[in-house]
Each structure stands twice: as C-alpha cells, then as structure tokens.
Structure 1
Amino acid sequence: MSSKRASKKVTFQERIEIVEFTIAHELDYQAAIKKYEVSYQQVYNWVKKYEKFGIDSLQDRRGHNKSKEELSEIDKLKLENKQLKARNLYLEMEKDLEKKLQELNRRNKTFP
C-alpha cells in the first residue's frame, strides 16, 4: 500500500481534526491518510508538532514575520543590525554612483 500523495492545502481546523483522529486511533497514520487524503509526511509532522509544542504549532506561519513586540532582545538587535547593513550598502552604492557620474562628466568635458 502506497502512502505517497500530493500535498493538499489544509486549514488549521482540519489539521486539528486530522491530528486528533490519528491520536484517537492509536497513531494509525494510514487511516488518516485514507480518510483525509493527505500525505503520510504531513500527518506525521503535524502529530509530532502537536505532541511536542501543542495545538498552536499546527498553524501555518510561513510568510508571516513576528511583530516587533514578539521579538526577543537578541532578535531585535539582529534585525537592527540587518537594517543598518542594508542602509550602509545603499549609501556605499550611492557614493560609488556619484563618483562614476563625476568621472564620466570629466571625461565628456575633455572631449570636444
């Protein structure tokens, strides 16, 4: 029996239902795969996350950044450092561009 299935978009509530079903049926992953038409890997990962971190770990947080209030002090410093590096790079590029423009202007003045 193959448990390989294409990934399926599943809501937070559906994940809870699938995990609860799997746990209630003594971790019968195959039954969950058949009933909900999801992959073994999805069910396995959701069950492990649920057991280790609780129900909130089943939420899909991909693409969602933490708000500044949620960041730890170290994460805030890392974010500030990243922003300063990006600003520094921008200013360096701007300075280099000005030098190139001045150089081109000087060259154009020397040629009639």
Structure 2
Amino acid sequence: MSKARKTTFEEPIEIVHDCLMNQRNYGQMAIKYQVSYQQVRNWVLKYEAMGEIGLQDRRGHRAGTIPSRTPEGTMHDQLAIQERRIKQLEMENNLLKKVRAFERMWN
C-alpha cells in the first residue's frame, strides 16, 4: 500500500485515462504512478459519475461559493445560501430588538 502523495489536478485525469485504456487495472496504475490502489479506484468511479469536474478537490469550500457538479448539488447550494441569509437576518432582527429595549430603558 502506497502512502498518499499530493497530486495536481491534471495527474488524476491522466491516471484515470490510462487506467481506462488498460482495462481498469487499478493495481498496475497504482504502482506505475505511485499512488494507492483505492485512490485510483475512487478517481475512476468519480470520473465515470461526474466527468473531469468530479476530480476537483472541493474541500474547505462553503456550499454555494463554487459551481456545483450536479443538479442536486445546485439545489443544495441554493438552500445553503438561503439558510445563511435567513440566519443573518435573524441576527440583525435580534440586535435591533435589543437596541430598542435599551432605548426604552434610557428614555
């Protein structure tokens, strides 16, 4: 089993194409490119499900900040944006209520 190594966005695409050309020989590709068997398999499955966009690393990005990969993802992103907006408005509303309460106390 190989240790994980950093890869550029182009490397998984190259590995997936090579793997598909060699009858999905994950083990051979793992040895050839010095990555783990499981990583090659995961890349191939993501590539088949979503294409090259599926191989993008989206960790650390908030929902709705970058385009989604699927229609369901788009709906999820829109929902997350609306939920953040509602939370922001609720906080503003609570703050205004507190300001009004202080104004009544001092007047």
One fold, TM greater than 0.5?
yes
* CA drift at 1:64: 2.2
When structure 1 is superposed on structure 2, of 33-42 and 75-84 the one drifting more is: 75-84
User: What secondary structure is seen at the aligned counterpart in 2 of 1:54?
Assistant: helix
Find out whether 1:75 has 2:80 as its counterpart.
Answer: yes
* CA drift at 1:25: 0.3
Structure number with larger C-alpha Rg = 1
RMSD: 2.8
The sequence identity of aligned pairs, in percent, is: 41
Could you tell me which runs of 5 or more consecutive residues in structure 1 were left unpaired when the two chains were aligned. Answer: 92-112
TM-score (norm 1): 0.64
Judge conservation of contact 1:68–1:76 (CA < 8 Å) in 2.
no
Task: Give the total of aligned pairs.
Answer: 88
Q: Please tell me the residue identity of whatever aligns with 2:14.
A: E
Q: Please tell me the residue identity of whatever aligns with 1:74.
A: L
Judge conservation of contact 1:8–1:38 (CA < 8 Å) in 2.
yes
> Aligned partners of 1:39 and 1:51: how far apart in 2?
19
1:23-38 paired onto structure 2 within 5 Å: 23-38=20-35
The answer for the alignment partner of 2:10 in structure 1 is: 13
Could you tell me which runs of 5 or more consecutive residues in structure 2 were left unpaired when the two chains were aligned. Answer: 69-73, 96-107
1:16-95 paired onto structure 2 within 5 Å: 16-65=13-62, 66-67=64-65, 72-83=77-88, 87=91
